A and B are shown apart, each in its own frame.
Chain A
Amino acid sequence: MNKVIEIKDLTKVYPNGRGILDINLDIYEGDIFGFLGPNGAGKTTAMKIMTGLISADSGDVRIFGHSITEEYEKAMAEVGCIIEVADSFPFLSAYENLKQFSRYYPGVDDQRIDEVLEITGMIKFKHEKPRKFSLGMKQRLGLAAAIISRPKILILDEPLNGLDVEGMIDIRKLIMLLAEKEKTTFFISSHLIHDVELTCDRIGVIYNGKMLNVDRTDNILQNYATLENYFVSEVERNGRVPSSTNQ
Chain B
Amino acid sequence: MAVFQAALINEIEKLYKKKKVMVAIFISLAVIVVGQLIIVGMRTGFGLRGVGSVEFPILVLSVVVNTILPLLTALVAIDCFSSEFSNNMMRVTLTRPVSRFKIFTAKVTTIVIFILFNLFVLFAFSLLAGFLFNANSATVAGFFKIVLSYSVSLIPMIVLALGIVFLANIFKNGTSVFFVSILGFLILKAGAVLFSQYSSLFITSQLDWYNLWLASSFPFSRIGHQLLIMLGYGIMFFTAGYYLFDKKEY
A residues within 8 Å of B by Cβ? 48, 51-55, 72-74, 76-77, 79, 81, 83-85, 87-92, 96, 100-101, 103-106, 145
| B contact face: mostly helix, strand, loop, or mixed | helix
Whether B14 and A54, one on each chain, are in contact in the complex, defined by CB atoms closer than 8 angstroms, is: no
Which of B17, B95, B97 contacts A83, CB < 8 Å? B95
B9 proximity list for chain A (CB < 8 A): 103
**B99 — which chain A residues lie within 8 A by C-beta?**
72-73
Instruction: Give complex CA distance A119, B11 in Å.
Output: 28
**CA A87 to CA B10, docked complex, whole Å:** 16
Of B6, B88, B92, B100, the residue contacting A103 (CB under 8 A) is B6
Which parts of B227-250 form the interface with A (CB within 8 Å)?
247, 249-250
B49 within 8 A of A: no
Nearest A residue to B8 via CB reads: A103
Q: Interface size for chain B: under 10, 10 to 19, 20 to 34, or 35 or more residues? A: 20 to 34
Instruction: How many A-B residue pairs have C-beta atoms within 8 angstroms? Tell me.
Output: 69
Smallest beta-carbon distance A163→chain B, Å: 19
Instruction: Take A92-B17, A100-B13 as given contacts and tell me if A52 and B88 are in contact as well, using a CB distance cutoff of 8 Å.
Output: no
**Once the chains bind, are A106 and B13 in contact (CB under 8 Å)?**
no
Given contacts A87-B88, A96-B13, contact A104 B250 (CB under 8 A): no
Secondary structure of the A side of the interface?
loop
The answer to whether A96 and B17 touch (CB under 8 A), given A103-B6, A104-B6, is yes
Check B14 against A89 for contact (C-beta < 8 Å): yes
- Chain A residue contacts of B96, Cβ below 8 A: 76, 101, 104
Given contacts A73-B98, A100-B13, A104-B97, whether A87 and B92 have CB atoms under 8 Å apart is yes
Chain B residues within an 8 Å CB radius of A48: 249-250
Output the least CB separation between A144 and chain B (Å).
13
Flag whether B91 is at the interface (Cβ < 8 A): yes
A74→B10 CA distance, assembly (Å): 20
- Besides A73-B99, A87-B89, A91-B18, 20 new A-B residue pairs in contact (Cβ under 8 A), listed by A number: A48-B249, A48-B250, A51-B95, A52-B94, A52-B95, A53-B94, A53-B95, A54-B250, A72-B99, A73-B98, A76-B97, A83-B91, A87-B88, A92-B14, A92-B17, A100-B13, A101-B96, A103-B6, A103-B9, A104-B98
Distance in angstroms between the alpha carbons of A244 and B13 in the assembled complex: 52
Given contacts A77-B97, A91-B17, A100-B10, contact A55 B88 (CB under 8 A): no
Q: Do A87 and B17 have beta carbons less than 8 Å apart?
A: no
The answer to whether B98 and A89 have CB atoms under 8 Å apart is no
Are B92 and A88 in contact, with the CB atoms below 8 A? yes
Known contacts A76-B97, A96-B13, A96-B17: A89-B250 contact under CB 8 Å? no
Listed residue (B13, B17, B96, B97) with the most chain A CB atoms within 10 angstroms of its CB: B96
When A100-B13, A104-B96, A104-B98 are in contact, do A53 and B91 touch as well, CB less than 8 Å?
yes
Closest B-chain residue to A105, C-beta based?
B97
Chain A residues closer than 8 Å to B100, beta-carbon distance: 72
- With A91-B17, A104-B3 known as contacts, the answer to whether A55 contacts B98 (CB < 8 A) is no
Enumerate chain B residues within 8 angstroms of A54, measured Cβ to Cβ: 249-250
Can you identify 24 A-B contacts, CB atoms within 8 angstroms?
Answer: A48-B249, A52-B94, A53-B95, A54-B249, A55-B249, A72-B99, A72-B100, A73-B3, A76-B96, A76-B97, A77-B97, A79-B97, A83-B95, A84-B88, A87-B88, A91-B14, A92-B13, A100-B13, A101-B92, A101-B96, A103-B9, A104-B3, A104-B97, A104-B98
B141 within 8 A of A: no
Is there a chain A Cβ closer than 8 Å to B34's Cβ? no
B194 interface contact, C-beta 8 A = no
The chain B residue with its CB closest to the CB of A82 is B95
CB distance from A180 to the nearest CB of B (A): 25
Q: Quick check: A76 and B95 within 8 Å, CB to CB? A: yes
Residues of chain A lying within 8 A (CB to CB) of residue B87: 87, 90
Given contacts A53-B94, A100-B10, contact A89 B89 (CB under 8 A): yes
Return B22 CB to nearest CB of chain A, in Å. 13
Smallest Cβ distance from B4 to chain A, in angstroms? Answer: 11
